[in-house]
Each structure stands twice: as C-alpha cells, then as structure tokens.
Amino acid sequence: MKLPLSYSFRNLWTRRLTTILTLLGVALVVFVFVAALMLSNGLRIALVSTGDDDNAIVIRRSAQSEIMSFVNREQANIIKTQPEVATMSDGGPVSSSDLVVLILLLKRENAEPSNVVVRGVAPSALAIRQKQVELIEGRMYGAGLQEVIIGKAIHERFQGCDIGGSLRMASAEWKIVGIFDGHGTGFDSEIWGDVEVMAPAFRRPGFSSVTLKLRDRNDFGVLKTRLESDQRLVVDVKREKDFYDEQSRMMANFIGILGTTVTVIFSFGAMIGAMITMYASVSNRTQEIGTLRALGFRRRSVLTAFLIESVFLALLGGVVGIAASSALNLITISTMNFGTFSELSFGFSLSPEIVGKALIFSVIMGLIGGFLPAARASRLKIVEALRTE
C-alpha cells in the first residue's frame, strides 16, 4: 500500500514552526547559491554582450587584453583594407582603430580613486557598435578636438563626470560633451574620444586594437587565416564576442568558485537542520508510524512518505530563496576587471538555467537531509512502535 501525498503535506502543516525554520534555513542557502551564480552570469553578460558576432577584433599576437596590445599604423591600414571588411557609402572601411589607456578618477560615494578605461576611437566607432552603444545625451565629440563622451556608468559613479565638465588627462583638460548608453555592456564603463587627438596626447605612436565590421559574419574564418598568416603582421584575429568572453572568464569563474564554496559550507547547516526536523518528526510520530505499519503499509511506503516531506520542504525553501534573490536584478555593482585592471559596472542576472540549478540543489539537500530520518522511520518495528508512550 502507498501513503497518499496529502499525508506528507498535512504533517508539515501540523508542525508549522519547525517547518518554517527549516524552510528559511534552506532558503538562505539557496539565496547565497543563486546570488553567486547571478553575479557570475551578470559579469559574463556585461562583457560578452560588449561584442558583436558581425565584428572582428585584431590585437597583437599573444596579448591578453587591449591594454597589453600594440598595432602600428601601417599594420592597421593593412588590416582595414581587407576585402571581407564592410564599407560605408563613401567606400571607406567600417572599422575603428582604438587606443586603450587607463586613468584614475574619484568615485562619487567615497572619493576613492579607481582605474577607468579611456578609449580613443575612430569617427565610425558608433556605426560599428550601433547594436551596443547609443548616444543618449549631449552630442558626439568633435573631430580633432579635446572632447570626450562618457558611458552611463561613468556618469553615475564618478565625480565631475557631467556634461559641460572636464576631465584632466594627459596633462590637458578634456571637455565632456555627451553621455552614451552601453545597454549594460562593458562600454558603459568607458570614456571615448578622438583617437587622432588622444594618441599624441598620451604619446602612443600606434593603436591597441583594430575592430572591423564584416560584410558577412561567415567570412570571419577567411579573414582570420589571411591576417594571421601575413608576414607583415603579428596579430591574433578573434570574433569580438569571443574576445570579450575570454576577458570575463577568469573573473566569472573566480566568483562562481567562491560562491559555490560558501554555499557548500552553508548547505551542511541546512541539511543538518532538515535532518533534525525530520528526526523530531519521527520521534513525535512513533505510534502513528506503528499504526501505519499495522494497517499494512510497507516499510518502503513509510520511507517514501518521509522523503517526500523532506524534499518538498527543501523545494519550497528553494523557491523562497530564488524569489528573494530575484530582487538582486535591480542592483548594479562595480568591481575591478581582471583583464584590464579597470572599473567595470555590471548587475546581477537571473536566468532559467540558474533557476533550474537552484531547484536541483534544493532537492539534493532535501534527499540528503531526509534520508537517515526516513530510513529510521521505516525500520521501526510494529510492536515496539505501538508500545511507545
């Protein structure tokens, strides 16, 4: 004979206090677990979405980031004139030779200094990155002028970063004339200006990278093979999305490992709490268990009923933990990008995959925490259980 599911659920409701306490313990563990995964996922999204599959980026061979890369002007011209590169109406290539440097700015909330990426770009920078970047306030910087536009995250988080203000860079004042929205990408945490003005100001004879828009994204393999085998060039060619994915991988993995470690430690407490709750349930229901066995319910049915209670309790705690962690979607934080050692703003991001992992994790906690008490309940002898007062 099988025990009905209503039996298990009714017993949880009868012991409301211990049920709620155990549920909250599980919810806390799941909250920490989901928060760590959301943080890692948010970082990956911020950097991966910085790239576009239609774009290719060219950097010096073996350079780990644009900060470490150098492409001279002759090489940049060779790269931009490849037949796979899309062209504008005037026949010029849709490309941007970028110069990437770091400066120190003071944060608004605590006046602490932090590295910020300054990117010197070509006039076609907005055209090549139109899917990621949109000018939302002010105007574009003037060609040949010491003017800059700033990312939304820079405007919100750093002192003096307002339209009409100025930034001190390379021993000169640069006027802020516009604010752009990077839509949650890494560009939100950058400052852009005319590369032909910034290069001499920062005493850089060449560029950090060259970004190209492809005529057809399927031409990437042909372009990569030709450029990397060209004896005049010593470069690596990557899809822009893959490049930024690599930039996020180390830090995202670090956050994921750290969060998982903390979660595992907390989960032992949650499983012990579930185990104590179920052991108490067995002790309080010894005669009831004996009666069930006397009525013909098998050991397996009793074991299953108690496991269902434990798993359902853990699953309910998991749902509460996920619901609580979903509020983190509203929070934006900043940290150091290990790839560039600069400030990077990003948010928590909940995904269906994370929800699935959290629910599976909750079920596992329920099974482990409830198995021993359930096994004890199923092994109780009928006569001894009925004699218990």
DSSP state letters, 53-97: TTEEEEEETT-SSGGG--B-HHHHHHHHT-TTB-B-TTS-BSEEE
pLDDT band at 222 (very low <50, low <70, confident <90, very high): very high
- Mean pLDDT, to the nearest integer, of 87-115? 88
- Is residue 56 one of the residues assigned to a domain? no
Helix orientation angle between 352-379 and 16-48, rounded to the nearest 10 degrees: 150
Residue 274 host element (H or E): helix 240-284
My answer on whether 165 and 257 are in the same domain is no
Higher pLDDT, 389 or 213: 213
Helix orientation angle between 352-379 and 240-284, rounded to the nearest 10 degrees: 20
- Is residue 140 one of the residues assigned to a domain? yes
- Is residue 55 one of the residues assigned to a domain? no
Show the domain range for 213. 62-233
Q: Work out how many domains the chain is built from and give that number.
A: 2
CB-based burial, 57-85: b 16+ in 10 Å, e otherwise: bbbbeebebbbebbbeeebbebbbebebb
In 3D space, the residue among 134, 121, 133, 139 whose CA is nearest the CA of residue 177 turns out to be: 139
- Is residue 241 one of the residues assigned to a domain? no
Point out the least confidently predicted range of 160-169, 212-221, 238-247: 238-247
For residue 330, the 8-state DSSP code is G
My answer on whether 139 and 262 are in the same domain is no
Boundary of a domain, candidates 233, 263, 282: 233
Query: 32 — alpha (psi -120 to 50), left (phi > 0) or beta?
Result: alpha
Residue carrying the six token digits 């806390």: 28
Tokens of 192: 């852009």
The C-alpha R_g of the chain, in whole angstroms, comes to: 30
Q: What is the pLDDT of residue 15?
A: 67
Point out the least confidently predicted range of 14-28, 47-61, 80-94: 14-28
Q: Strand 147-151 vs strand 166-169: parallel, antiparallel, or unpaired?
A: unpaired
Point out the least confidently predicted range of 29-33, 273-277, 336-340, 376-380: 336-340
- 342 to each of 8, 337, 380, how far by Cα in Å? 54, 5, 63
Q: Give strand pairing partners of 22.
A: none
Q: What is the pLDDT of residue 4?
A: 47
> For residue 6, is pLDDT > 80?
no
pLDDT band at 348 (very low <50, low <70, confident <90, very high): confident
Give the integer Cα–Cα distance in Å for 353 and 308. Answer: 24
> For residue 139, is pLDDT > 90?
yes
pLDDT band at 69 (very low <50, low <70, confident <90, very high): very high
Higher pLDDT, 198 or 35: 198
pLDDT, the chain, mean: 81
Higher pLDDT, 309 or 379: 309
- Is residue 54 one of the residues assigned to a domain? no
User: Within 13 Å, how many C-alpha atoms sit on residue 127's CB side?
Assistant: 15
Q: What is the pLDDT of residue 30?
A: 85
71 close to 235: Cβ distance less than 8 angstroms: yes
Q: What is the pLDDT of residue 383?
A: 54
- 207 to each of 99, 169, 244, 280, how far by Cα in Å? 5, 18, 18, 69
My answer on whether 225 and 126 are in the same domain is yes
Q: Angle at Cα 329 formed by Cα 242 and Cα 251, nearest 5°?
A: 40
Report percent pLDDT > 70 for the chain: 76
208 close to 66: Cβ distance less than 8 angstroms: yes
Report percent pLDDT > 90 for the chain: 34
For residue 138, the 8-state DSSP code is E
My answer on whether 164 and 274 are in the same domain is no
- 284: how many CB neighbours lie within 10 A of its CB? 13
208 close to 99: Cβ distance less than 8 angstroms: yes
Give the integer Cα–Cα distance in Å for 176 and 165. Answer: 6
pLDDT band at 145 (very low <50, low <70, confident <90, very high): very high
Boundary of a domain, candidates 233, 258, 279: 233
> For residue 342, is pLDDT > 70?
no
Point out the least confidently predicted range of 115-119, 242-246, 287-291, 372-376: 287-291
- 96 to each of 58, 85, 126, 221, 301, how far by Cα in Å? 11, 11, 9, 20, 69
Higher pLDDT, 340 or 250: 250
Boundary of a domain, candidates 167, 200, 233: 233
My answer on whether 125 and 227 are in the same domain is yes
Give the integer Cα–Cα distance in Å for 53 and 242. Answer: 8
Backbone angles phi, psi at 331, to 5 degrees: -100, 135
180 close to 149: Cβ distance less than 8 angstroms: yes
Give the integer Cα–Cα distance in Å for 349 and 37. Answer: 8
Number of H helices, E strands in the chain: 12, 12
- Mean pLDDT, to the nearest integer, of 381-386? 55
In 3D space, the residue among 213, 215, 244 whose CA is nearest the CA of residue 124 turns out to be: 213
- Is residue 155 one of the residues assigned to a domain? yes
- Mean pLDDT, to the nearest integer, of 75-90? 91
The residue count of the chain comes to: 389
My answer on whether 379 and 262 are in the same domain is yes
